[in-house]
Amino acid sequence: MLGLGIESTAHTFSCAVMEKKNSTGKILSDVRRIYRPPDGEGIHPREASRHHIDAGPAVLSECLAKAGIDIGNLDIISYAAGPGLGPCLRVGAVVARSLSSYYKIPIYPVNHALGHIELGKLLTGARNPLVLLVSGGHTMLLAFLNKQWRVFGETLDITLGQLLDQFGRSIGFASPCGRDIESLASNTSEYIQLPYSVKGNDVSFSGLLSAAKSVAKKNKNGACFSLQETAFAMMSEAVERALSFTGKKELMVVGGVAANKRLSEMLQDVCKRHGCKFFVVPLKYAGDCGSQICWTGLLESQAKPGAKMKDTFVTQSWRLDSVVVPY
């Protein structure tokens, strides 16, 4: 089976072609263009969607050329139908619908969060993990039971990615800022006390954001270091409790923030204490990309036919725990 996956939920427009044989998947191409807002500013949904419209044709042609296939060879097309920014989601959906109806190829709307998880499982080999999904759009702890991903904890306000990006922009970085913060944090090991807020198994980052911004006025390196230490310790506490509760023997971290080395280090310590295997998605596939959507569409195509055109929706707030996984 050959699939094309289209990702356009937020800053990234990406197309990927993958081949599925039995339960193995091979990425034949994965091409991306990322919208970069001006320094100090966040994503403007309309500007990002314009970026995607401009980038779309070149990304699609390059993706097919790199995979060495024609559109007619594709068995299915999948696109990220949510959650995400409405204007951005619509661009991917329009490209997918046009190709599907013109070339008569079955179409699959895919949940973006499920895409992060399924590609993570394929690339790491994790089988039944507790999942920590930490990205621009998500901060969730999840475990799979009876065909659905169940939430064991999540953010009560902003996501871990938003915490890093909003803080980073306040000190003049361009979004996404996670990597720049990680780099400044590595200049020091001076910890400055910051608000730590875990409520039950949920986390809240907005107090931490305000306090870190105020520390950064005097000490940028110390603020970056302390922000990472505090936020990642909060996540580690929630992970540890969820591991105890679920008894899972695998932890898998996915999403853009999974690229952070310090986060992995802290979670590895937690895993050691619980006799649990640690998996982290490879850096190249941590952030949003077409392969996540493509692989999930290929898995879904084992279990159900493509969607009718009238059902090719986009939903800005499509929660993962409402998705029934049919395969």
Binding site for ligand AMP (CB under 6 A): 135-137, 161, 164-165, 176-179, 182, 255-257, 259-260, 287-288
Nearer to ligand AMP, 82 or 287 (CB): 287
| Least spacing, CB of residue 12 vs ligand AMP, in Å | 6
Nearer to Mg ion, 135 or 155 (CB): 135
Cα 11 from Cα 245, distance rounded (Å): 35
| Least spacing, CB of residue 115 vs Mg ion, in Å | 8
95 binds, among ligand AMP, Mg ion, none (CB under 5 to 8 A by kind): none
Task: Tell me the two tokens of residue 43.
Answer: 């994503």
87 binds, among ligand AMP, Mg ion, none (CB under 5 to 8 A by kind): none
Burial 156-194, CB ≥16 within 10 A → b, else e: ebbbbbbbbbbbbbbbebebbbbebbbebbeebeeebeb
135 touches Mg ion by CB under 5 A = yes
Distances from the Cα of 92 to the Cα of 12, 35, 195, 227, angstroms: 10, 14, 39, 35
Which of the stretches 66-74, 129-137, 214-222, 239-247 binds Mg ion when contact is defined by CB under 5 A? 129-137
Rg (CA), the chain: 20
| Least spacing, CB of residue 110 vs ligand AMP, in Å | 15
Which single residue is written with the structure tokens 């809240």?
204
Question: Which H or E element spans position 30?
Answer: strand 24-34
Question: Which H or E element spans position 90?
Answer: helix 86-103
306 binds, among Mg ion, ligand AMP, none (CB under 5 to 8 A by kind): none
Nearer to Mg ion, 29 or 135 (CB): 135
| Least spacing, CB of residue 32 vs ligand AMP, in Å | 10
| Least spacing, CB of residue 251 vs ligand AMP, in Å | 18
Query: Which one among 288, 293, 296, 300 touches Mg ion, defined by CB under 5 A?
Result: 288
Nearer to Mg ion, 135 or 228 (CB): 135
Q: Is 96 exposed, middle or buried (0-12, 13-18, 19+ CB in 10 A)?
A: buried
| Least spacing, CB of residue 276 vs ligand AMP, in Å | 22
179 binds, among Mg ion, ligand AMP, none (CB under 5 to 8 A by kind): ligand AMP
Nearer to Mg ion, 14 or 312 (CB): 14
| Least spacing, CB of residue 257 vs ligand AMP, in Å | 4
Distances from the Cα of 246 to the Cα of 12, 50, 129, 142, 270, angstroms: 34, 44, 10, 10, 14
289 binds, among Mg ion, ligand AMP, none (CB under 5 to 8 A by kind): none
Nearer to ligand AMP, 60 or 160 (CB): 160
Is residue 279 within 8 A of residue 245, CB to CB? The reply is no
Q: How far is CA 166 from the centre of its chain?
A: 17
Q: Is 57 exposed, middle or buried (0-12, 13-18, 19+ CB in 10 A)?
A: exposed
Q: Dihedral (C-alpha) 309, 315, 318, 324: value to the nearest 10 degrees? A: -10
Residues that bind Mg ion (CB under 5 A): 135, 288
